[in-house]
Amino acid sequence: MRAFSELYEELDTTTSTNLKVAAMVRYFKSAPPADAAWAAYILSGHRLKRFIGPALLYRWLIEECGLPEWLVEESRATVGDLAETIALLTESSGEAGARQVPEVSLSAWLDERLLPLRSVDELRQRAAIVNWWRTLPYRESFLVNKFLTGELRVGVSALLVTRALSEALSMPRADVTRRLMGNWFPSAEFWESLRSGEAPAQDPSAPYPFFLASSLEDDPATLGDRHQWQAEWKWDGIRSQLIRRRGECFIWSRGEDLVTDRFPEVTAAAKQLPDGVVLDGELVAWRDGVIRPFADLQQRIGRKKLSPAILKSVPVRFLAYDLLEHDYEDLRTLPLRDRRARLEALVACAPQAIDISATVPADSWEQLAQIRTESRARSVEGLMLKALEAPYGSGRQRGSWWKWKIDPYSFDAVMLYAQPGHGRRSNLYTDYTFGVWSHSELVPVAKAYSGLDDGEIVELDRWIRSHTREKFGPVRSVEPTQVFELAYEGIAASPRHKSGIALRFPRIARRRADKPAAEANTLADLQAVLLRCSPLADDSQS
C-alpha cells in the first residue's frame, strides 16, 4: 500500500504527462502481480462501489478524534475533503502506530480488508476503520478513506495508463487497450496473463476500444479533397457498442458501463442480427421520426426500473455508424469505405430499433458548411468527418476522425457559491455555482468547474475567501458581483431544479470583469432558448 500511496502522490503533484507515465512504469515493473493488477484497475478509471457512507465516517471521526464538533466541521470546511480531513486529524497517532504495523500490500488491503467489510455489521466496520485511522500514516489513511467512500480520483487518463502499461510490459498499446476493455477482475492471474501475452478466455460480451474524434478547429478545407471524407450528423446521445455473440446481446457505453438492461427494445432487435456482430453507434431518444433531446434519454438512464410508461414515452433507437466485427471477424483494419458498405448491407435487414447513421451528401466543403447550419434545427451537435480510407483506430488518434461542432450556446451569469476542488486543487475554490436574474432575485442555473487556467483560479480563490458571505460546510456563498460567460451544449426543462431548466456541459468561457452583475442574463432569456430548442414546441403547433 505504501508504494501505491507514493505513486498516487507523484501523479497528484505533477501536470507533466511524461513524469506521470514514468512513475506508473516504475510502479508496474516493481509491484507484485496482484498489486499491479489492482493499480491498473484503479488507474484506468474503474471505481469500487462505496463501502461506507461519508455521513457515517464523519460521525465516527467526531466520536474518536477528541475535538469539539465545531472544530472538526471548521477543519473539514477548510480542507474541503472528508478523506483528507480524517487523515490529517488522525495523523499524529497514525505516524506513531505505523512503526509497529507491518506493511500490507495494496491487493491485501482490497481483497482481505476492504471487500470483506461489506459482509460485516456496523459495529465491526467501525472497529476496523477506527483502528486503521489510529495506525496508518497520513498518505495511506487518505487512500483508505477514499476507497471507503468510493471517491478516489486519480489525475491520469486511460490513454496514459495504457501507454505506461505498454512500456512496462513491452506490449503494443492497442493490445493493452483491448485487453483492458469490458469486465475483468484484478488478480495476480489476470496480471500474469496480461504480461505473458496469452490470449485471455474469450468473453462474448467484450467490446473493442472506442475510436474517438478530435475537435476540428481549422477550416475543413485543410483536410483536402471533400470526396475522401464521409460526413455524418453528430448525434446527441450515448456512444455505444452493440454486441451480438454466441446467441447473447450486450450494450456497452463509451464509459465501459454495461447498459444492456436499460434499452430492452434495442436488445430485442439485436437478437435478430447474425451472430458475431459488433456495431459502433449512438443510442438516441427517438419518437415519431424525430431525435429527442438528450434530457429525454436521461429519464431512461436514471431509473432503476423501466416502467411500461417510460418505455412508451421515451422510445430509443440505435444509430449504427460503424461495423467492427462481422461473422466473428475483426474488421477494424479495413478502410471505412469497406466497413461502411458491409454495414449498410447488414443494417438494411435489421429491425426498426436499429438504424444506420445516414451520411450527409455535399459536393464541396462550402456546401457542407451551409448544411451544418441546420444542426440546431435537427437537434444535433454538428457534423462528424471521417476519412474513407482510414482504419478504425483506438482512443483519440488525430487525423482521420474529426468532430466539426457548432458553436455552443452562451449567456452571462453571476457567481453565487464556491467550493473546493479535488486532488491537488482540494485547497482551492474551483467549483462554482452561477445564477441569473428572475425579477429581482438571482436563481441558480448551473455549476461549472472548467474553463479557467491555474492563474485565474488562484486569483479567484483569493477573491472568494475575502468576499464570503456565509459558509455551509465546504461551500461558501459569495458577494454576487462576479460575472462570467458560460457556454453550454444543450438545454432542457427540469422540474428537479429551482430554475426549471437543466444545461448540458456547462463550462466557463471567460470572466466578464467589464460587466456589472445587474447586466447578467435573466431566467426569461434561457426559457426563450428552451422554447426555441424543444421539439415539444413544434409538437404543440401540429
CATH number at residue 289: 3.30.470.30
Domain boundary among the residues 387, 405, 423 is at 405
Does 170 reside within a domain? no
pLDDT-based confidence at 97, cuts 50/70/90? very low
Helix 33-43 to helix 2-12 angle (10° resolution) is 30
Looking at residue 424, what is its pLDDT? Answer: 65
Q: Same structural domain for residues 390 and 454?
A: no
Q: Same structural domain for residues 236 and 356?
A: yes
pLDDT-based confidence at 457, cuts 50/70/90? very high
Which 3 state secondary structure label does DSSP give 208?
Answer: coil
Range of the domain at 481: 409-533
Looking at residue 541, what is its pLDDT? Answer: 31
The residue ranking higher by pLDDT, 197 or 347, is 347
CATH number at residue 114: 1.10.3260.10
pLDDT-based confidence at 414, cuts 50/70/90? very high
Q: Same structural domain for residues 19 and 135?
A: yes
363-371 long-range contacts, CB within 8 A, separation 24+: 363/226, 364/226, 365/219, 365/220, 365/221, 365/226, 368/220, 368/226, 368/231, 369/220
Does 311 reside within a domain? yes
Eight-class DSSP state of 101: S
Q: What is the mean pLDDT of the segment spanning 262-278?
A: 93
Does 100 reside within a domain? yes
Does 492 reside within a domain? yes
Domains: count for the chain = 3
532 by Cβ neighbours in 10 Å (0-12 / 13-18 / 19+) ranks as exposed
DSSP secondary structure letters along 493-506 = E-TTSTTSEEEES-
Q: What is the mean pLDDT of the segment spanning 315-332?
A: 94
Q: Which of 171-180, 185-194, 389-398, 433-442 has the lowest mean pLDDT?
A: 171-180
With 50 as the cut, is the pLDDT of residue 95 above it?
Answer: no
540 by Cβ neighbours in 10 Å (0-12 / 13-18 / 19+) ranks as exposed
Q: Same structural domain for residues 401 and 419?
A: no
Q: What is the pLDDT of residues 105-131, one digit of tens each?
A: 999 999 999 999 888 999 999 999 999
| Mean residue pLDDT across the chain | 87
With 70 as the cut, is the pLDDT of residue 365 above it?
Answer: yes
With 80 as the cut, is the pLDDT of residue 182 above it?
Answer: no
Looking at residue 200, what is its pLDDT? Answer: 54
Q: What is the mean pLDDT of the segment spanning 275-286?
A: 94
Q: Give 3-state DSSP helix, strand, coil % of the chain, rounded to 5.
A: 45, 25, 35
Looking at residue 101, what is its pLDDT? Answer: 59
Using an 8 Å Cβ cutoff, are 45 and 158 in contact?
A: yes
With 80 as the cut, is the pLDDT of residue 137 above it?
Answer: yes
pLDDT-based confidence at 294, cuts 50/70/90? confident
Does 261 reside within a domain? yes
Looking at residue 416, what is its pLDDT? Answer: 96
Residue 351: partners with Cβ closer than 8 Å, 6 or more residues away? 268, 269, 272
Which 3 state secondary structure label does DSSP give 348?
Answer: coil
Looking at residue 199, what is its pLDDT? Answer: 55
Q: What is the mean pLDDT of the segment spanning 438-455?
A: 91
Looking at residue 100, what is its pLDDT? Answer: 56
Placement of cell 438494411 in the chain: 348
Domain boundary among the residues 124, 149, 174 is at 149
Domain boundary among the residues 149, 176, 200 is at 149
Looking at residue 162, what is its pLDDT? Answer: 87
Q: What is the mean pLDDT of the segment spanning 240-251?
A: 93
Q: Same structural domain for residues 139 and 278?
A: no
Using an 8 Å Cβ cutoff, are 316 and 301 in contact?
A: no
Looking at residue 221, what is its pLDDT? Answer: 94
Helix (H) / strand (E) containing 470:
strand 468-472
Does 129 reside within a domain? yes
Q: Same structural domain for residues 423 and 370?
A: no
pLDDT-based confidence at 98, cuts 50/70/90? very low
Looking at residue 428, what is its pLDDT? Answer: 87
Q: Same structural domain for residues 371 and 337?
A: yes
Does 179 reside within a domain? no
Q: Same structural domain for residues 309 and 359?
A: yes
C-alpha dist (Å) from residue 218 to 215, 222, 389, 405: 9, 7, 21, 12
Does 194 reside within a domain? no
pLDDT-based confidence at 159, cuts 50/70/90? confident
Q: What is the pLDDT of residues 378-393, one digit of tens each?
A: 888 899 999 999 999 9
Using an 8 Å Cβ cutoff, are 292 and 282 in contact?
A: no
Q: What is the mean pLDDT of the segment spanning 45-69?
A: 87
Alpha helices in 199-249 (DSSP H): none
Q: Same structural domain for residues 348 and 486?
A: no
Q: Same structural domain for residues 431 and 345?
A: no
